[in-house]
Structure 1
Amino acid sequence: MLNPQMSLSYLQTNRHLLQLIKLRYGFITLQLVVVLVTEFWFEYELSYITLKMIIAAELAINIVLFYVYRGNRNAHLAEYLLQILLDILFLTLMLYFANGATNPFVSLLLLPVAIAAVTLTRAWLLFVTFVALAAYSALLFSMDSHQLHMVDMQQHFTGMWLNFVLSALVVVLVVASLAQAMRHQERFVSQAREEQLRQEQLVALGTTAAQFAHQMATPLATANLLTEELELEYSHRYLSQLKEQLSLCSKRLQDFRVMSEELKQNSKRYLSLTDLLVQLQQEVQLNFPDTQMGYQLEHSDTLAVYTDTTLFPALLNLIQNAVQASKENNSDKVELSNRVEEHQLFITIRDFGKGLSEQSLLELGSTIVKSENGFGMGVLLSHATFERLGAQFRLYNHSDSGAVVEIAMNLVDVS
């Protein structure tokens, strides 16, 4: 609906990333414990100084990363990828200096693949899987021929490698699918929650509007009677203007009642493009006589929209917002245009105001936004109407000045 934004699938909160960094502290501690137990308990002949240096380097880098990601901000997927590649690198180095592919802990290379299945996209997951397989293969091929052929262990090590490959495929196919399903479910629940809140706001507004219209009927009828009696006793042009405005209010109230009945019956009809634009132009001239409205309208009797009576109030609501925005910027100009592309009608309303902030562009139309001029409620109601009619709504700032509202509706050939 709004200005293009970076997809949320490429951005995640750094909260999960910080959690991975904290978990790495525990993993580093376990590495150190295993190295010390192996050195002093089992007394294996390994390069313990090198292993401890690798652990120290891993700890130093992790401390730096912890302080970098302490704040609350978004983290790009590339940053998650970097963390996982660091884990593969340090784990491969540890295994290389601890008997390589013969080390029983070589299966830990599956752990970064499992983490990638939960945090990264499918393409990056395949990349991490390839890196992990390459690391295991490098450990296997780095073994000397004496180790491979000792007691015919070559077949055993090859079997371990194949087992790792199959395990990695299981992680990619099963864990990644489950993680993706969970993300889709969370996104669906979040959207459903937002839509429910929006519908509750619309129902509340509709109920309030119906109550207000019902309460206004009697005062309007009384005001009309008083105006007629005053006209009989006094002849003044202001009285005729007042009567005209009261009649307009009564007409709007009657239109609201008709509209409510049609909504109850879900009554829709085909309205030709020419009739739509002519009626819209007449309504604009009637409601905004002091506005310099620039028209660029393309008529057609062979194309029509399938709509109901709520379309015109929704459009007039947006035009009224445009008129108010222009007046606040000491301008009385508003542009109304349309175009037809691939059986779609695009209606564009441009004001000459100061434009909208990025936050307003994000929120207008999706929720009630507090505003002195009431733009938030009006745009929300109009947007809900267009969605119900199957139309698309877009709001953005013009490159020169002001804001632009664009409505896209499907057209039907009635020739």
Structure 2
Amino acid sequence: MANHRENLLQLSYIRTVTLFGQCLAVIFAIYGLQAELNIWLIGPALAVLALLNLITYARLMSPWPVTEPEFFTQLIADMSLYGAILFHMGGATNPFIFLLLVPLIIASATLSKRYVWLVAITVVVIYSSLLFYYEPLIQLENNHQHRVMELFDFHIVGMWINFLLTVLVVTYFIVRMQQSMQKQQEKLEQEREKRIQDQQLLSLATMAAGTAHELGTPLSTMQVLLKELEHEHQANPELLEDIELLRQQTDICAKRLKQMAQSVKQEQSSTRLMAATLIIDETIEQLMIQRPEVSYSLLVSGQGDSPSLNCSTSLRQSLLNLLNNAADAQPKDIAIELDWDQQHVFFRIHDKGPGISIEQSENLGKPFVTTKGKGLGIGLFLTATTLARYAGDVRLYNHPNGGTLTEVTLPIRKHHE
């Protein structure tokens, strides 16, 4: 679907330029060519064109969408006003008669076939009428100071100026239309990618729910058997120690499954505004509990008070996943930086691992693609999807000093939003 609001805005710009050019042409005809123009008839036509432009600007400020029939009506109005102005300025003998082609070119680039044909027929009718019905610019019998050759030279120069202006106007409009169409195409591509990600997430969620349900029974069986083994082998301290470790691990798995079942409800109630520094501190604290072997340095380079972010359990888990990925690459000397500007907060994680290859960089963020040689390859995919829900993103680069640089960008949220 064409973006007719943007098209109408560009048309108003072209109309402004045309109005300015027509006013200059009238002044030149009166004082340069000594033409006897009826300014009391030309003036109102120019005034109506200016009023139409002001109404268009006001209409564009409203939230209502611009429809194709409305844009078509605007083009018809332009052609009618151009025809009225040209009628009083020489009709088809005016070198600026080709100004009528501009609305046709715009219609061809933006409207459907039936509207283009209607515009084309209107242009032909107006041009054909101006061949026979017009008020001449110069009355040769009453104005002997103009020779025929001089008038011909003026006509040729006018056609050259008209050609240049038409090229500029058409090129400008077509380029802007192309940019608008390109933006629409990019938006459609983003929506398509989002739908694909949503489908992949739904598949993962379905598999996770099924797996969680299926794991419940064997975990319960293992817990019962471990309790029986504990009673049967009270005389073997070493075996009891191993059994206790296994029982702890099964309890952790059962607890995680229970948390998964309640994750959606917790997610809805856990979202709140938090300072970025507090978020990174809590995430690093959770990392150190899980990975005490990790060593890191934290640099807060943002100026002023720490901005606030919409934070939730899933967002903290996403940042924790990235820190875990860095720790898997190289647990020593992980450099963490927190920075911000007026609109965004930046989390940067630099590990000293082997970095990422070109093949891996092309597929990063896709499900079931991993850079670690182990795992399911869904951590980074889930992280990128979660950050996208918060209007953020994650990018991975090979750092010039070696290793991988992971950069997370998140928008700053104001307290009144």
Instruction: Indicate the TM-score class for this superposition, using the shorter chain for normalisation.
Output: 0.5 to 0.7
2:173 equivalent in structure 1: 174
Structure 1 contact 395–403 (Cα < 8 Å) conserved: yes
| AA of the residue aligned to 1:356 | I
Taking structure 1 as reference, are residues 340 and 193 closer, same or farther at Cα in structure 2, changes over 3 Å only? Answer: closer
1:389 equivalent in structure 2: 390
**Deviation of residue 277 (structure 1)?**
4.6
1:236-263 C-alpha deviation (Å, 9 max, x unpaired): 3222222222222222222222222234
**Deviation of residue 179 (structure 1)?**
2.6
2:20 equivalent in structure 1: none
Summarize the alignment of residues 142-291 of structure 1 with structure 2, pairs less than 5 Å apart: 153-234=152-233, 235=237, 236-263=240-267, 265=268, 267-271=270-274, 276-277=279-280, 279-289=282-292, 291=293
| AA of the residue aligned to 2:387 | F
1:291-315 C-alpha deviation (Å, 9 max, x unpaired): 33324276x9987543222123222
1:294 to 288, 293, 296: 296
2:399 equivalent in structure 1: 398
Summarize the alignment of residues 302-321 of structure 1 with structure 2, pairs less than 5 Å apart: 305-321=309-325
Summarize the alignment of residues 58-73 of structure 1 with structure 2, pairs less than 5 Å apart: none
SS in 1 for 2:378: helix
**Deviation of residue 176 (structure 1)?**
2.8
Structure 2 contact 335–351 (Cα < 8 Å) conserved: no
Q: In 2, distance between residues paired with 1:157 and 1:267?
A: 74
Q: In 2, distance between residues paired with 1:400 and 1:313?
A: 28
1:81 equivalent in structure 2: none
Q: In 1, distance between residues paired with 2:362 and 2:356?
A: 10
1:125-173 C-alpha deviation (Å, 9 max, x unpaired): xxxxxxxxxxxxxxxxxxxxxxx98696423322331331243134224
**Deviation of residue 396 (structure 1)?**
1.6
| AA of the residue aligned to 2:171 | V
Q: In 1, distance between residues paired with 2:192 and 2:153?
A: 57
1:321-358 C-alpha deviation (Å, 9 max, x unpaired): 223323xxxxx425263435447654333332210123
1:50-83 C-alpha deviation (Å, 9 max, x unpaired): xxxxxxxxxxxxxxxxxxxxxxxxxxxxxxxxxx
2:79 equivalent in structure 1: none
Structure 1 contact 345–411 (Cα < 8 Å) conserved: no
Structure 1 contact 336–349 (Cα < 8 Å) conserved: yes
Q: In 1, distance between residues paired with 2:352 and 2:296?
A: 12
Structure 1 contact 321–375 (Cα < 8 Å) conserved: no
Structure 1 contact 297–337 (Cα < 8 Å) conserved: yes
Q: In 2, distance between residues paired with 1:301 and 1:246?
A: 44
Percent of residue pairs identical? 30
Q: TM-score, normalised by structure 1?
A: 0.53
Q: In 1, distance between residues paired with 2:306 and 2:196?
A: 40
Structure 2 contact 273–308 (Cα < 8 Å) conserved: yes
| AA of the residue aligned to 1:402 | G
Q: In 1, distance between residues paired with 2:345 and 2:159?
A: 63
| AA of the residue aligned to 1:204 | S
Taking structure 1 as reference, are residues 176 and 203 closer, same or farther at Cα in structure 2, changes over 3 Å only? Answer: same
Q: In 2, distance between residues paired with 1:170 and 1:185?
A: 23
Taking structure 1 as reference, are residues 219 and 161 closer, same or farther at Cα in structure 2, changes over 3 Å only? Answer: same
Structure 2 contact 326–334 (Cα < 8 Å) conserved: no
Q: In 2, distance between residues paired with 1:358 and 1:369?
A: 14
Q: In 1, distance between residues paired with 2:298 and 2:253?
A: 29
Q: Which runs of 5+ in 2 are unaligned?
A: 1-97, 110-146
Q: Does 1:356 align with 2:356?
A: yes
**Deviation of residue 211 (structure 1)?**
2.0
Q: In 1, distance between residues paired with 2:163 and 2:345?
A: 57
| AA of the residue aligned to 1:157 | I
Taking structure 1 as reference, are residues 182 and 339 closer, same or farther at Cα in structure 2, changes over 3 Å only? Answer: closer
Structure 1 contact 364–376 (Cα < 8 Å) conserved: no
Q: In 2, distance between residues paired with 1:269 and 1:237?
A: 43
Q: TM-score, normalised by structure 2?
A: 0.53
Q: In 2, distance between residues paired with 1:336 and 1:255?
A: 31
SS in 2 for 1:356: coil
| AA of the residue aligned to 2:385 | A
| AA of the residue aligned to 2:271 | K
SS in 1 for 2:223: helix
Q: Give me the CA root mean square deviation.
A: 3.8
Structure 1 contact 273–301 (Cα < 8 Å) conserved: no
Structure 1 contact 336–347 (Cα < 8 Å) conserved: no
Taking structure 1 as reference, are residues 168 and 296 closer, same or farther at Cα in structure 2, changes over 3 Å only? Answer: closer
Q: Which runs of 5+ in 1 are unaligned?
A: 1-106, 119-147, 327-331
Structure 1 contact 274–301 (Cα < 8 Å) conserved: no
Q: In 2, distance between residues paired with 1:151 and 1:294?
A: 84
1:335 equivalent in structure 2: 334
- Provide the aligned length of Structure 1 versus Structure 2: 264
Taking structure 1 as reference, are residues 365 and 181 closer, same or farther at Cα in structure 2, changes over 3 Å only? Answer: same
